[in-house]
Structures are given as C-alpha cells and as structure tokens.
C-alpha cells in the first residue's frame, strides 16, 4: 500500500485517484476548486463518467480515498505525488505548464521525506527536468536537501470509458531514471503489474514522447479518413465501406477510421498543437501533424458548408432553425472542450441560422460554452423537443440514444426534410423511406 496525493481532481485526477485507491493504495485527491471538492465530499461526482460513482463511493467508504482543498493536509505522510492538473494550450499552441509549475512548487515546499513526483498530466518532452528544478528550488528555499525523484507516467484513458481504461490499460508507461522510484511505481500499480499488463519502463523523455506520439497518430488517422470521406462524396464512393475494407488489413486496423465532423475534446486538439510547437521549437516541423490539424479545422468548417449546401446553397440558412443533437465532443461524457459542436453551432449562427440544441449530459456545459452565440439559440428539453419549429436536424454526437430515433416522428415534426447525420449512424435508405433527405459524411 502506497500513500498517494493526487493534485488536480478533474477527469484524469479523479479517475486516477479513485482507481489507485481501488488498487489498494491510500489516496487523497486535492483540488483548488472548492465547489468540486465540496461536491465530492458530499458524495456527488462533478463530471459524467460511467461507473466512476461506484468506484469513488466504494473507496471513500473503505477510507482509502478522500478529498480536500488543503495540500499541506494531503501531503502529510505521502510517498507519491501525482500531478494531474490541466495543461491547456498557450497562444502559440505549446502546452501551458503554469498549473503544473504551481502545483509542483507548492508540493515541493511541503515534502518531509523521500517523495516521488509523478507527471500524470500530458506534458511536453523535457518537463520532467523542469519538475526536478522546481522541486529543487522549493527545497533550496527551505534550506533542505530532501531526496526526491520524478517519474513520467502519461495517462491514456478515454473519457466515457475512463474507469475501464484505467483499470484495464493497453500499457502502463513509467519513465524514470531512478531504480527506487521505479520500485515504488510497481507498488502503486501492483494490481496491474501482477495482472501482466504490458509495463513499459523507459526514460522520462521517451515516456513524455509516447503520449504525444500516440495522440498525434490517432488524430492523423481521423483526419486521414475525413479527407478520404470528402473525396468519396465527390467521386461517388462510400467511405463506410472503404473504411471497413481498409480496417480488415491488420496493418491498418479498424479503429479511428470513422469519418465525421472532425476530432475534438480536451486532448487531441491541444496535444497535436503542442507536439507541433515542440517540432517547430527544435527546427523540425512535424508536417504530417501540422496538416492533420489544418484538415481537422477545415472538416468542422466543411460541416457548416454541407448543411448550407444541402438546404439550398448560400443564404439558405438565413432565418431557418436548425435542431442540433449532441454537444459533447463524443458520447458518454459531458465534456465539451473543443467539441466540433461548438464550431458547427457558431458557423451556423454566423450564417444567420437559429439553433435549438440538446445533449443528454452536456447542457450545463453548453449554457456557458455556447454563450457567445447571441440571439437565436434555444436549449431544448430532449431529442424530440429540438425538432419543434426546426427546419433541419443535425446529429453531431453519437450518443446511443440517438441511434434509434423515430424517423417518422422526425419527418412529421420538422418543418423541412433535411437530416444531416454527421456520424454516419443511419442508413440512407431508412431515412429516405421516412421522407427525409439524408446527408452523411463521405457517403
Ligand atoms: P481538468 O481540467 O478536468 O482537471 C484539472 C484539475 O486541476 C481542475 O479541477 C483544476 O481545478 C485542478 N487544478 C489546477 N491547478 C491546481 C493546483 N495547483 N492544485 C490543485 N488542483 C489544481 O483536466 P483533465 O481533463 O483531468 O486533464 C488533466 C491532464 O491530463 C491534462 O494534461 C490532460 O492533457 C491530461 N489527460 C487528459 C485526458 C482526458 O481524457 N481528459 C486523458 C489523458 C490525459
């Protein structure tokens, strides 16, 4: 059993903290957001993440997991400090390490004995060295020479599947130059280590690079199929069939070959921009990744063109009401960070469409993330309520409950025939049979 402090209790910190407690460790999660900690101590989970509530409640009950806003309290007796704060993009696209630096300096000023600092946040190559320097400076200020080590342990969980991913990872990556730290990390991850989860020990720099290279690769794969989809539309091919056949090739694999409105979320957009910034910094532009970023931005803009084109061309959106279903960047999360739905809603509003929007979990987020859209934005009560007074339906997020909509009811309620399925969930024939005009991506 290892005593752990997790700094940052967001999507990654909360899931990591709860699951590390489930592995038998003693975990205190800290956050500066008092409302978040108050919710958690009151038994409420501040994010939508399937299965998380059970793990949190179970481990709080067995006293292995607790929450606080007090870092000094949390740090008492801690062997390991996980840093799981945000690393948002700076203006030039590089990762802003401000939250990491603040958390590390604060924790460094509190350690009492040998401590392992673990970077769980996604941080650029070279950050472990900076963390070492920040802790050293904090100790120098105290006139102390307490031993410590730094580990890079990137996280690969997917929102919406986070608990499963953390407890059944494809791999655990541990970057460290210290044998002592590596032994402690084996204890931390003992449950997985014993389970023969692939456990990759490497240098800090390599671990940091693994995370960015993985996310950038997946982003490239998405942008790749989206560009192929756009070409499919022009030449009369079907991207679903293309992707299915490509995916059968074991060298390619079928995952992340779903054409759609472009990737979003808290990771792919910012991580691709951050690794591209690192490339430029070293005079080695990562041209494939740079292009994937541009292709993704274009894909989101193209969705607005698609809707306008489908409804009759330039000017067709003016005065029309569009029902938008799904605002989270993907299903099973309330996260709307860089969701394609935001760019699409803004693009439609800029062409003078009115919007009626709904999402099963992201309405609270939407209330402030879409507030830039002035006038003509209405928050609906459910999927069918979005249709009232709307001319067209745009399906942006692939929530399961959107996979079996009553197409006849949609046709009866909509003022126009237009059905834009930006996730290719429906079959053209069934939609057209209901009297709707169907538009997918790459079909
Ligand atoms: P988040 O914004 O949900 O959570 C970060 C939390 O840190 C916030 O609650 C914030 O209040 C808190 N915080 C900031 N400074 C603090 C401080 N000094 N002390 C205590 N708390 C502090 O972010 P997230 O989605 O959990 O992402 C965290 C990191 O993990 C990022 O680097 C991200 O790239 C990476 N990551 C995210 C995912 C994901 O799916 N969200 C997956 C893998 C990796």
Q: Rounded to whole angstroms, how far apart are CA atoms 58 and 437?
A: 49
The residues assigned a catalytic role are 267
364 pLDDT tier (thresholds 50, 70, 90)? very high
Say if ligand 1 is within 6 A of residue 8 CB: yes
Confirm if 119 and 150 have CB atoms less than 8 A apart: yes
49 pLDDT tier (thresholds 50, 70, 90)? very high
374 pLDDT tier (thresholds 50, 70, 90)? confident
Instruction: Give me the percent of the chain exceeding a pLDDT of 70.
Output: 100
- Taking alpha carbons only, the member of 93, 32, 150, 59 closest to residue 289 is 93
Q: How far is the CA of 121 from the centre of ligand 1 (A)?
A: 7
- Taking alpha carbons only, the member of 436, 378, 441, 380 closest to residue 406 is 436
| Structural domains of the chain sorted by starting position, each given as residue range(s) with its CATH number in brackets | 3-202 (3.40.50.720), 268-439 (3.40.50.720)
Predicted confidence (pLDDT) at residue 267 exceeds the cutoff of 80: yes
Say what the pLDDT of residue 165 is: 98
Say what the pLDDT of residue 375 is: 76
Say if ligand 1 is within 6 A of residue 266 CB: yes
**Which residue puts its alpha carbon closest to atom 30 of ligand 1?**
121
Say if ligand 1 is within 6 A of residue 333 CB: no
Evaluated on CA atoms 390, 396, 402, 408, the torsion sign reads positive
Average pLDDT over residues 62-89: 97
**Which residue puts its alpha carbon closest to atom 44 of ligand 1?**
155
Q: Rounded to whole angstroms, how far apart are CA atoms 412 and 266?
A: 37
Evaluated on CA atoms 302, 308, 310, 315, the torsion sign reads negative
DSSP letters for 308-343: HHHTTSTTTTTT-EEEEE--SSSTT----TT-HHHH
Q: Rounded to whole angstroms, how far apart are CA atoms 75 and 80?
A: 9
231 pLDDT tier (thresholds 50, 70, 90)? very high
- Strand segments (E) across 38-112: 65-68, 80-83
Q: How far is the CA of 390 from the centre of ligand 1 (A)?
A: 38
The model's pTM: 0.96
- Average pLDDT of the chain, as a whole number: 97
- Strand segments (E) across 61-120: 65-68, 80-83, 115-119
Contacts of 405 (CB under 8 A, 6+ apart): 383
Q: How far is the CA of 292 from the centre of ligand 1 (A)?
A: 25
Say what the pLDDT of residue 292 is: 98
Q: Rounded to whole angstroms, how far apart are CA atoms 309 and 127?
A: 47
Contacts of 378 (CB under 8 A, 6+ apart): 354, 355, 356, 357
Confirm if 411 and 417 have CB atoms less than 8 A apart: yes
Pocket perturbation via mutation, ligand 1, pick of 7, 46, 86, 170 by most ligand atoms within 8 A of CB: 86
Give the bridge partners for 358, in sequence order: 325
Q: How far is the CA of 243 from the centre of ligand 1 (A)?
A: 34
Q: Rounded to whole angstroms, how far apart are CA atoms 120 and 112?
A: 22
Confirm if 422 and 399 have CB atoms less than 8 A apart: no
Predicted confidence (pLDDT) at residue 193 exceeds the cutoff of 90: no
Q: Helix, strand, or coil here: 66?
A: strand
Say what the pLDDT of residue 400 is: 98
Strand-strand pairing, 199-202 and 354-358: unpaired
Say what the pLDDT of residue 303 is: 98
Pocket perturbation via mutation, ligand 1, pick of 8, 9, 32, 272 by most ligand atoms within 8 A of CB: 8
Say if ligand 1 is within 6 A of residue 7 CB: yes
Average pLDDT over residues 285-307: 98
Confirm if 131 and 119 have CB atoms less than 8 A apart: yes
Say what the pLDDT of residue 196 is: 87
Say what the pLDDT of residue 424 is: 98
Average pLDDT over residues 203-230: 98
Confirm if 420 and 395 have CB atoms less than 8 A apart: yes
């Amino acid at each position: 059993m290892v005593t752990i402090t997790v700094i940052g209790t967001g999507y990654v910190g909360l899931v990591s903290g709860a699951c590390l407690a489930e592995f038998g460790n003693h975990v205190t999660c800290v956050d500066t957001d008092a409302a978040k900690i108050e919710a958690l101590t009151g038994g409420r989970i501040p994010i939508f993440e399937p299965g998380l509530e059970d793990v949190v409640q179970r481990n709080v009950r067995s006293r292995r997991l607790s929450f606080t806003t007090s870092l000094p309290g949390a740090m008492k007796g801690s062997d390991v400090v996980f840093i799981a704060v945000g690393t948002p993009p700076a203006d030039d696209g590089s990762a802003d390490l401000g939250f990491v630096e603040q958390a590390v300096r604060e924790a460094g000023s509190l350690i009492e004995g040998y401590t392992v600092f673990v970077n769980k946040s996604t941080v650029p190559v070279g950050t472990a060295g900076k963390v070492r320097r920040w802790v050293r400076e904090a100790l120098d200020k105290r006139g102390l020479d307490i031993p410590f080590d730094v580990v890079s342990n990137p996280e690969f969980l997917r929102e919406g599947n986070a608990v499963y991913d953390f407890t059944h990872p494809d791999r655990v990556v541990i970057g460290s130059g210290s044998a002592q730290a590596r032994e402690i990390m084996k204890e931390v991850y003992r449950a997985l280590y014993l389970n023969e989860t692939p456990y990759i020990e490497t240098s800090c720099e390599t671990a940091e690079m693994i995370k960015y290279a993985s996310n950038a690769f997946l982003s490239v794969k998405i942008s790749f199929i989206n560009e192929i989809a756009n070409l499919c539309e022009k030449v009369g091919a079907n991207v679903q069939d293309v992707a299915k056949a490509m995916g059968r090739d074991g060298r390619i694999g079928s995952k992340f070959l779903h054409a759609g409105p472009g990737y979003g979320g808290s990771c792919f957009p910012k991580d691709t921009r951050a690794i591209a910034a690192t490339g430029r910094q070293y005079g080695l532009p990562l041209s494939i990744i740079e292009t994937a970023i541009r292709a993704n931005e274009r894909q989101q803009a193209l969705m607005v063109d698609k809707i306008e084109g489908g409804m009759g061309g330039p000017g067709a959106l003016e005065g029309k009401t569009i029902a938008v279903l799904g605002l989270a960047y993907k299903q099973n999360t309330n996260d709307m960070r860089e969701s394609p739905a935001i760019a699409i809603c803004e693009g439609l509003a800029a062409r003078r469409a009115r919007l009626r929007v709904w999402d099963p979990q992201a309405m609270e987020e939407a209330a402030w993330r879409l507030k830039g859209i002035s006038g003509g934005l209405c928050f609906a009560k459910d999927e069918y309520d979005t249709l009232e007074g709307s001319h067209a339906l745009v399906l942006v997020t692939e929530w399961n409950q959107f996979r079996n909509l009553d197409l006849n009811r949609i046709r009866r309620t909509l003022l126009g025939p237009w059905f834009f399925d930006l996730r290719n969930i429906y079959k053209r024939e069934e939609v057209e049979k209901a009297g709707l005009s169907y538009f997918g991506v790459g079909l």
